[in-house]
Structure 1
């Protein structure tokens, strides 16, 4: 009898009244269900993270996140990389210098954790880390003697203009764009391919 009364009342309730009823009488169950869903979601994310084959990690100083994703997709297309092969990550996760220590802290943490294969940065950042021998020799990265006459290639990186691919797609706002490979790079061959890709102007240059 009581069950029939509850069913009748339920049909007559508005959406808000139903929500209030559920919250009043079943909030502990709702909390439990929410916790279970959250744990399942977290487990799925951790599993995916542990089983994702990251082919390249690119960090961008003062970049645009959406443009960074576009660059990652374009490079994957340039190399013929599919989702089955792995993931190309281009992250605009390093702030530009703003008078605080935030940029240095983030960069030092990422590079120290071996989480950066290629760094796209300003001239100041390039000079600072190259003077500390933080970048690999670009000659060793490219392994291509035919490029030695290219004036864009420096000892420990490459210097691109605003007209280059990163500038053209408005990935960054600075006029001189430096690209270097940290000594802690974990994906050496792919890092070299990415530098070549930038020198050649991306997939649209073919």
Structure 2
């Protein structure tokens, strides 16, 4: 902070804002960062920023992971997924499994020590790998087939938390083809005007009703 018009924030303070990635910015919405000893500033843009917050809220507030439970984390090689793996282990998860898109990512995740097992979903079917397995929590960040696997492999009153659709992998159901418009037949214009008149009358009535409610 080079200059401040806020009484309790003095120049020299370190702040976080979303205004711009630039050398100088004029901001009115920011958060003061209390830097801990030995923690690099880059951590406040990652594990101590939005990345870590997403994983933490997903595990503790939404999925409510408990000590001794098992969890399946998709998109485990991403920022949120890998952070969630470490947090899950720190929260006492008995089994932390993950899925990612390459053997190299899987090896690095296992070497980091948070995940007990990691599957490359491009070469191994999650349905086949976990056909007889059950998870208490599914932390889902991909969508499509992996999301369906996470939902099907929940055991008992299992919980699922959807974090997003990484890489556009969300598979949406196909929309039915639109029927081509039929040309307006002679004699249909009067009916169209009647429907339009009814629509305007209904809208006017709705506005009047909302107005009376607000009063």
- Bigger relative contact order, structure 1 or 2 (CA pairs below 8 A, ≥6 apart): 1
Larger radius of gyration: 2
Shorter chain as normaliser: what TM range? under 0.3
TM-score, normalization by structure 2: 0.24
Question: TM-score normalized by structure 1?
Answer: 0.24
